[in-house]
Amino acid sequence: MAKPKIATASLAGCFGCHMSLLDIDDRILKLVELVDFDKSPVDDIKKFTGRIAVGLIEGGCCNEENVHNLQYFRENCDILISLGECAIMGGIPAMRNTIPLKECLDEAYLNGPTVYNPTGKIPGDKELPLILDKVYPCHEVVKMDYHLPGCPPSADLIWQALVALLENKPMDLPYEVIKYD
Amino acid sequence: MSEKIKFTIDGVEIEATAGQTIMQAADEAGIYIPRLCAHKDLLPFGSCRVCTVMVNDRPQAACTQPVSPGMNVESETEELRQIRVNLVEMLFVEGNHYCPFCEKSGNCELQALGYRLGMLAPKYPYMFNKHDIDASHPDIYIDHNRCILCARCIRSSKELDGKNVFQFVGRGIHKRVAFNSDTDLAATDVSVTDKAIENCPVGAILKKRTAYAVPIGKRKYDSQPIGSDIEALRAEVK
């Protein structure tokens, strides 16, 4: 029987959650015995090669591309997990949510004290993904099946949750591994 | 005056003193009932409803409901856990609670209740309302993003500090804590040693230059759930 596939993505995140995934240390050898890594920045596979058992999403949605990527994952993953505070509540990028988008862009590209921008324009190339009015938690864009909090979620939390899912056992997580920071 | 009253919480018989609230009697017996606005040094207030228990099958706030003989109190049921976690989740989406960088993280009662009640993510949509920060005072800063409107600062200032520094203004979603001054916090008679500062359950009122002093892993709620101190009394009471 073929091994189940795992896929990961970093949307509006800092890759800290992916670092935490790698922080499971030598258990990663056990993990590759249990699963095949599919589309993920870890192995640089760009397209899904088949149905995915578990998709791990780091980061919320701050632009159009994040939304498309997240929808693409939802279509292809049996179980989709919000990994970390940014996926769950927007995190640091969501700090702009209380400020109108135009004010954010003006500050970043026109008025900021260190800005050097002789064109006096806000970047608007078609190649750039369109920025959203605010940063959205993943579960406000598509259905998410599980949420693993933390900044980043601890390696123990990721490991125990993944093993429980792959072995079809209840996710009985100890108090110490659930943290929102 | 010290008439003894017997009643049960989750089937456990408790002896209380007439005039006590359910929460006071439960605390003495080593039974923890989750709470946010209630504080042992303050008068019962009953605003957050996190301490909701079923008294003879009717929901009541344990922090304000007096004990009466033979009452049947239920606290640790799945139905009540669900009610409590819903309240906590609503507080998380109403404010802007960025646990990853909050100075109070690890020592925060709202966060600790989320842990204890099993919240992995709030089920309600985040509101991302704009709130102010007042850093005018040399030793204290106030971040309204993290305020849960428990009124502990208001009550502590009045009841314990003998001052009147804080008060609510506005109604409904516009309700917020305001200061007793025409300008800002610095213009009040608040002091960094006030109980009003110490008794904030969240990171809304903080002392400056004290942040991140305790390393992760050694903070108040890192390895012990909130309420463990009260539950530790249970062994002694038994």
Q: Is B99 on the interface with A (CB under 8 A)?
A: yes
Q: State the span(s) of chain B assigned CATH 3.10.20.740.
A: 4-81+225-237
Q: What is the DSSP letter of A108?
A: I
pLDDT in tens, B149-192: 999 999 999 999 999 999 999 999 999 999 999 999 999 999 99
Q: Is A153 on the interface with B (CB under 8 A)?
A: no
Spell out which residues of chain A touch residue B102, defining contact as CB-CB under 8 Å.
181
Q: What CATH number has the domain spanning B130-207? A: 3.30.70.20
* C-alpha B199: how far from chain center: 9
Backbone angles phi, psi at A23, to 5 degrees: -75, 0
Spell out which residues of chain B touch residue A149, defining contact as CB-CB under 8 Å.
120-121
The answer to whether residue A91 is domain-embedded is: yes
The answer to whether residue A111 is domain-embedded is: no
Please give the ipTM for the structure prediction: 0.94
pLDDT in tens, B204-229: 999 999 999 999 999 999 999 999 99
Fold of B4-81+225-237: Ubiquitin-like (UB roll) (3.10.20)
pLDDT in tens, A116-149: 999 999 999 999 999 999 999 999 999 999 999 9
Which contiguous run of DSSP H or E holds residue A66? helix A64-76
Domain around A38: 5-95+134-177
Q: Is A147 on the interface with B (CB under 8 A)?
A: yes
Q: Is A80 on the interface with B (CB under 8 A)?
A: no
Q: State the span(s) of chain B assigned CATH 3.30.70.20.
A: 130-207
Please, what's the b/e burial string for B191-224 (b: 16 or more CB within 10 A of its CB; e: otherwise)? eeebbbbebbbbbbbbeeeeeeeeeeeebbbbee
Across the range B92-111, mean pLDDT stands at 97
Distance, in Å, from the CA atom of B153 to the CA atom of A167, rounded to the nearest integer, reads 49
Yes or no: say if B100 and A85 are a contact pair by the CB < 8 Å rule.
yes
The answer to whether residue A118 is domain-embedded is: no
CATH no. for residue A23?
3.40.50.700
The answer to whether residue A172 is domain-embedded is: yes
- Give the minimum alpha-carbon distance from A132 to chain B in angstroms, rounded to a whole number: 15
Mean pLDDT lowest for which of A169-173, B6-10, B124-128?
Answer: A169-173
Which residue from B minimizes the CA distance to A140? B125
Number of domains in chain A: 1
State the pLDDT at residue B238: 66
Nearest Cβ partner for A97 among B100, B122, B128 = B128
Across chain B, mean pLDDT equals 96
Integer angstrom CA distances of residue B35 from A40, B88, B225: 43, 10, 13
Comparing CA positions, the residue from B41, B40, B63, B28 lying closest to residue B231 is B28
The answer to whether residue A102 is domain-embedded is: no
- Cβ contacts of B15-23, under 8 Å, gap ≥ 24: B16/B67, B18/B67, B19/B66, B20/B66, B20/B67, B21/B62, B21/B63, B21/B64, B21/B65, B21/B66, B21/B67, B22/B53, B22/B55, B22/B60, B22/B62, B22/B63, B22/B65, B22/B66, B22/B67, B22/B71, B22/B73, B23/B51, B23/B62, B23/B63
Q: Is the peptide bond before B125 cis (omega within 30 degrees of 0)?
A: no
